[in-house]
Chain A
């Protein structure tokens, strides 16, 4: 009898020393610590803790939170992999699917988005509107006007931003673009005129003066019979004349690119600031 007790004690002590991995590291505590890190937005640490936790058993909420942690850190493709594993989950399949679409959208994998969206017959109606918004936003951000219909756009987003959206839509046709060809022709006629056309007035005047002075020097030297100097300045004048034509064409390109860039950054800032008009993922702490 006594022997048995000793054995039990020994076993208990053994079990204790085996579990000597601190109580702090048991699965329950690991989970609560991980949740805390998640709330602190310390996502990489939370992610590691959740993964350790999963070694003890399956938990779909944990997998969901892992996917959110990854997405928050910008690791979208890994997040998408985790999202996919939850499609069969009882409680979280809808949410996981929505996060899946969101991650595809945020990582700019629009073709995949469209493919799944068109073949998916299980999209809940309350999420439908948000998916529609993602699609329209990505069309808007890719600046393909022919894909877009203003009425559809206005209908999909809150009424309060109708003016901003209309403004973006109008800017998409770039009414103020400059024609590079025209800029080149202007500069060929009068040096610097092309730059004036692309609204670089200072550069235009400088180009005019530079070519003018070099031409004057060339003519003056020929008149004074300084042949060598005459040809030198002729060459320089021709070089800068050609350079200015090239510069005017490239200036028109730059002007147009700047229009696109400013629209791009305006739209991005606007949508980013408003979280793309999509609700935040579940479980995220404020």
Chain B
């Protein structure tokens, strides 16, 4: 991971903007930002961002690579798409935030114990295993993602919620030993592996 980070940082030594344009989903839009700040004012989690999107965009242009990639900010995106709907320049901001988060993760730059990063990875592993989400296992992994002790505490605190979901048949205990699945899991896994290879190759090409 850090090898890739070193390689990329050296390859794009003179321009972090170029690195973002080449490797981050929708990154080619970053230079279009005109710093109006409508995204910051429209974000439901706005007050929790160390650097709102327009600041991240300017930091990218200013070459503040370390500060951007190791920021918690893009992990605060709730995917509400308000910034996209309102951006006067039409930047796909939500997607750029997802792209920055994904790229930071690939380079091993995510701050330790970042809760949304942890949960998002658990989610991805959960849904790709059998092709469909297992909500019970997702909930349990979420409770225990910060260790056993915290997990038991969280599970106890949310006991009533869990029971409510089971009572209303909106959560099924049967998901624990089986659960929903697609038929062609092997095809799905091969497909995702190929997609991953193609995507990795694009970053490696640039090395």
Do A and B come from the same complex?
no
Please give the residue numbers on chain B whose beta carbons come within 8 Å of chain A beta carbons, in ascending order. Answer: none
Please give the residue numbers on chain A whose beta carbons come within 8 Å of chain B beta carbons, in ascending order. Answer: none
